[in-house]
């Protein structure tokens, strides 16, 4: 099969997630993929990107892109409130699709898109990329090989970066929870996906969510606007393996711990740390110790070959692993990329967390 031709909805040549993660990933996988064109918020913006990246097409809008016979795969990297409309159009046009997480602003949109993807029979991948991080793959192997013995509990503390008392205009939409892109849906859900990849699915969970701030200062305009997204999220639950689960995510950035994940077992302990609570794009440091070790925790490092040939930025590496699986799915009919059905599972968990917090 020839290269898979990608049409991007939401791509700037030098800024934002598509440029920092997707472009380096696709450059690494240039034997499998070719970016053929782009549709942005305006034709002028699309033309600027197409010129900078030497793309064949600058589409006037997303409708023209999804209908183009030159596009095999549509990648959607715009803000979450626009996912439903764009993804639905791509699916109705019969295109394969890669949509960044979350799939929609809530469970209803996710259910509709998942059902439509099944009906169309296309490869529909969701960007829950932490599960394919080399560090996560390595952690999963350690657990499967019995490094900690039987897993008894896991504890996770993280910061969201945003969702405190200040932001800039561009990111204000994250602070309105009706947009489906708050701390629960973005850093916490992404990181829970990685946790579940290592330790298995969550069986039950109870939640408490609230805010320390009900207003946010927009620093580039000096406006003060309402904030509805919670900045404190606490989960208590149990994994399907029987292990205890405890999670606390807080808004802003900490001078101390921004990501601390511990796995405790009958024969040892593992500790994972990072400078960001966004596990999907953080460089994860791993340390562990057996119960018989007297020296305490010692570094545990994934094999060097797991990182060879991939971009330096962890987010780009992880996105690249999804594209790698998309290529295989399109070419062979396999089902290795995280699908909309996988995404729907996480939307259902988010809904159950919200319902628990309300009660």
DSSP character for 190? H
Listing DSSP states for 277-344 in one string gives: S-TTTS--EEEEEETT-SS--EE----GGGTTTS-SSHHHHHHHHHHHHHHHHHHH----SPBHHHHH
- Integer Cα distance of 265 and 31 in angstroms: 43
Give the SS3 label for residue 46. helix
Sheet holding 73-76, edge to edge: 57-58, 33-39, 4-9, 73-76, 96-100, 124-127
Q: What is the model's pLDDT at position 199?
A: 98
Chain segment 298-357, per-residue pLDDT in tens: 999 999 999 999 999 999 999 999 999 999 999 999 999 999 999 999 999 999 999 999
Q: What is the model's pLDDT at position 21?
A: 98
Whether the predicted pLDDT of 216 surpasses 90: yes
In a domain, 112, yes or no: yes
Among 158, 182, 207, 18, CA closest to 98: 18
Pair (168, 260) in one structural domain: yes
Average pLDDT on 177-197 reads 98
pTM: 0.96
- Integer Cα distance of 92 and 121 in angstroms: 11
Q: What is the model's pLDDT at position 292?
A: 87
Pair (214, 76) in one structural domain: no
Pair (150, 297) in one structural domain: yes
Among 323, 308, 307, 311, CA closest to 34: 323
Average pLDDT on 50-71 reads 98
Pair (301, 328) in one structural domain: no
End-to-end, the C-alpha distance of the chain in Å comes to 53
Sheet holding 259-265, edge to edge: 202-210, 232-239, 244-250, 151-159, 259-265, 268-274, 285-290, 298-299
**Residue 146: left if φ>0, alpha if ψ -120 to 50, beta else—which one?**
left
Whether the predicted pLDDT of 62 surpasses 80: yes
Average pLDDT, the chain: 97
Average pLDDT on 126-154 reads 98
Is the bond into 102 cis (omega within 30 degrees of 0)? yes
Q: What is the domain-level CATH number for residue 259?
A: 3.30.360.10
Chain segment 232-279, per-residue pLDDT in tens: 999 999 999 999 999 999 999 999 999 999 999 999 999 999 999 999
- Integer Cα distance of 248 and 162 in angstroms: 15
Average pLDDT on 9-29 reads 96
Q: What is the model's pLDDT at position 188?
A: 98
Cα–Cα separations (whole angstroms), residue 68 to 13, 46, 83: 22, 15, 19
Mean pLDDT check: name the lowest of 102-116, 194-208, 294-308.
294-308
Strands (DSSP E) along the chain, which ranges? 4-9, 33-39, 57-58, 73-76, 96-100, 124-127, 151-159, 166-167, 202-210, 215-218, 223-226, 232-239, 244-250, 259-265, 268-274, 285-290, 298-299
Average pLDDT on 121-146 reads 98
Q: For residue 324, give its domain range.
A: 4-128+312-339
- Integer Cα distance of 85 and 76 in angstroms: 11
Q: What is the model's pLDDT at position 1?
A: 63
In a domain, 59, yes or no: yes
In a domain, 87, yes or no: yes
Pair (114, 238) in one structural domain: no
Among 169, 193, 191, CA closest to 79: 169
182: pLDDT confidence band, cut at 50, 70 and 90?
very high
Helix (H) or strand (E) holding 199: helix 189-199
Q: For the chain, what is the domain count?
A: 2
In a domain, 284, yes or no: yes
- Integer Cα distance of 217 and 209 in angstroms: 21
In a domain, 344, yes or no: no
Pair (119, 85) in one structural domain: yes
């Amino acid at each position: 099969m020839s290269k898979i031709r990608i049409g991007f909805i939401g791509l700037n040549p030098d800024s934002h997630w598509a440029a920092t993660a997707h472009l380096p990933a696709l450059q690494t996988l240039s034997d499998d993929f070719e970016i053929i064109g782009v549709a942005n918020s305006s034709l002028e913006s699309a033309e600027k990107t197409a010129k900078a990246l030497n793309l064949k097409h600058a589409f006037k809008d997303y409708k023209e892109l999804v209908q183009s016979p030159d596009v095999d795969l549509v990648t959607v990297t715009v803000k979450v409130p626009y996912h439903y409309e764009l993804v639905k159009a791509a699916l109705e046009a019969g295109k394969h699709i890669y949509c960044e997480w979350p799939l929609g602003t809530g469970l209803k949109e996710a259910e509709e898109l998942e059902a439509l993807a099944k009906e169309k029979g296309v490869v529909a991948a969701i960007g829950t990329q932490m599960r394919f991080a080399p560090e996560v793959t390595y952690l999963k192997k350690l657990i499967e090989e019995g490094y900690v013995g039987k897993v008894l509990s896991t504890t996770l503390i993280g910061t969201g970066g945003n969702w405190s008392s200040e932001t800039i205009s561009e990111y204000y939409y994250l602070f309105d929870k009706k947009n489906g892109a708050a701390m629960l849906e973005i850093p916490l859900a992404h990181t829970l996906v990685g946790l579940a990849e290592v330790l298995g699915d969550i069986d039950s969970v109870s939640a408490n969510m609230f805010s320390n701030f009900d207003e946010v200062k927009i620093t580039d305009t000096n406006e003060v606007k309402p904030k509805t997204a919670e900045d404190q999220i606490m989960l208590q639950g149990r994994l399907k393996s029987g292990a205890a689960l405890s999670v606390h995510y807080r808004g802003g950035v900490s001078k101390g711990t921004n990501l601390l994940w511990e796995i405790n077992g009958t024969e040892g302990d593992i500790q994972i740390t990072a400078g960001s609570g966004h596990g999907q794009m953080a460089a994860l440091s791993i340390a562990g110790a057996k119960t018989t070790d007297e020296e305490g925790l010692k570094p545990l490092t994934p094999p060097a070959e797991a990182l060879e040939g991939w971009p330096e930025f962890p987010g780009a590496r992880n996105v690249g692993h999804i594209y790698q699986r998309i290529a295989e799915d399109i070419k062979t009919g396999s089902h290795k990329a995280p699908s909309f059905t996988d995404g729907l599972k996480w939307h259902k968990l988010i809904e159950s967390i919200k319902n628990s917090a309300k009660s």
